[in-house]
Structure formats: structure tokens, C-alpha cells
Amino acid sequence: MRFLLLPLLLALAAAPVVAQTSAVMSAPSDSAIPSPMRTYALRLKPGQDVRQQLNAFMVLHQIRAGAVVTCVGSLTQATLRLANQEGPTVYRGHFEIVSLVGTLSVNGSHLHLAVSDSTGRTVGGHLLDGNLVYTTAELVLGVLEELDFRREPDPASGYRELTIYPAAPAPKRPK
């Protein structure tokens, strides 16, 4: 039975994904919407604040939908909002960035950071202002050009949650 399912799974995985192009797509989506991705590589330098630099980059390039593809580096201060906590927790010392993941947008980002200390103790939570680069932070960001990420109130969670829209067409320039 296992061997009969494998060809079916392989065929499904190879099937093309077709984007829906109807007028319905102007509404937010709870399902997946495909988009090509452009990438940017950047390096943050000692003393720079990771979140502030990412926000400035989003504004400078007017990025409406993006994601952190990868990040490595180190911090002298990590400021996180831990799970189910209201305020920030600040850690001072030398930390390796183990993971930085999340969505980015000029309309609001949602990022999680995990760092480890010299003993390997690891802590993670919501990335807040106050994460200061020690030696470097090397990032690759992906920009989803055909999408528009927005943060809108969600009655189920009580928070402003991600809502995905197709990006508005770029305005045509006069000739």
C-alpha cells in the first residue's frame, strides 16, 4: 500500500500551481496565494538595532510583503516579548542569533528571534526594539512582489493578525 501512494504523491507534488485571477482575489485570503520572490542581502553592523533597521529597510523600499529567509549573527542585547507575557524581557551579554523568522511589511511586521548564550542556553520570543548587533547580523530578505501583507483585527485572537491581499497593480507612468 505504501508503494502505491508514492507515485500519487509525486504526481501531486509536481502538479502546477495555478493562480486564481478572478475579481474575488481583491479580498483578503486565508489560503495560499503564490507570488514570485525577489531577495535582498544585507549586513547590519555593530550597535545597530535589528528591528529598527528592518523597519527602516521596509519603509525605504516600500515593501508590502516580505519574509526573513535567513539570518546569522550576534547580539550584545536581546529584547524579547516572551510567550504569553505583556512586556519586554531584556538579556545583556553576548548571544548568537540561532533563528530570526517572520513576516515583514510597511503595514506591520511579525518577527520571532531565538538566541543562545555561551553555555548554549537558548531563549526566544517576539523581536522588539533593543536587539543590538555585536559583530554582525547577516540577513537575506525575500520580497513577495505580488502580495500585500496587512495587520487587521482578528476577533478570534483579539490581536491584529496577518491578512494577505494581492498587491495593487503599479500605477502606469504618463508617456
Interval 70-122: pLDDT, tens: 999 999 999 999 999 999 999 999 999 999 999 999 999 999 999 999 999 99
Number of C-beta neighbours around residue 142 at 10 A: 18
**CA 117/CA 97 separation, integer angstroms:** 9
The cell numbers describing 134, all together, are: 555585536
Query: In sequence order, what are the beta bridge partners of 163?
Result: 150
pLDDT at 175 > cutoff 90: no
The cell numbers describing 58, all together, are: 521596509
Instruction: Decide: helix, strand or coil at residue 6.
Output: helix
pLDDT of residue 26: 59
Spatial contact of 164 and 29, defined as CB atoms under 8 Å apart: yes
Tell me the pLDDT tens digit for each residue of 5-34: 444 444 444 444 334 333 344 567 667 889
Q: Of 33, 109, 27, 95, which Cα lies nearest the Cα of 66? A: 109
Cα torsion through 33, 37, 39, 44, rounded to 10:
-10
pLDDT of residue 171: 67
The cell numbers describing 124, all together, are: 526566544
pLDDT of residue 18: 37
**CA 80/CA 89 separation, integer angstroms:** 5
Q: Of 102, 86, 10, 7, which Cα lies nearest the Cα of 50? A: 102
**CA 103/CA 117 separation, integer angstroms:** 25
Query: How does DSSP classify residue 85?
Result: -
Confidence at 55, pLDDT banded by 50, 70, 90: very high
Antiparallel, parallel or unpaired: β 110-116 and 89-104: antiparallel
Q: Higher model confidence: residue 19 or residue 48?
A: 48
Amino acid letter for position 117: D
pLDDT of residue 33: 87
Tell me the pLDDT tens digit for each residue of 122-168: 999 999 999 999 999 999 999 999 999 999 999 999 999 999 999 98
pLDDT of residue 32: 83
pLDDT of residue 4: 43
Query: Which domains are seen in the chain, by residue range?
Result: 35-166 (3.30.1330.80)
Query: In sequence order, what are the beta bridge partners of 124?
Result: 114
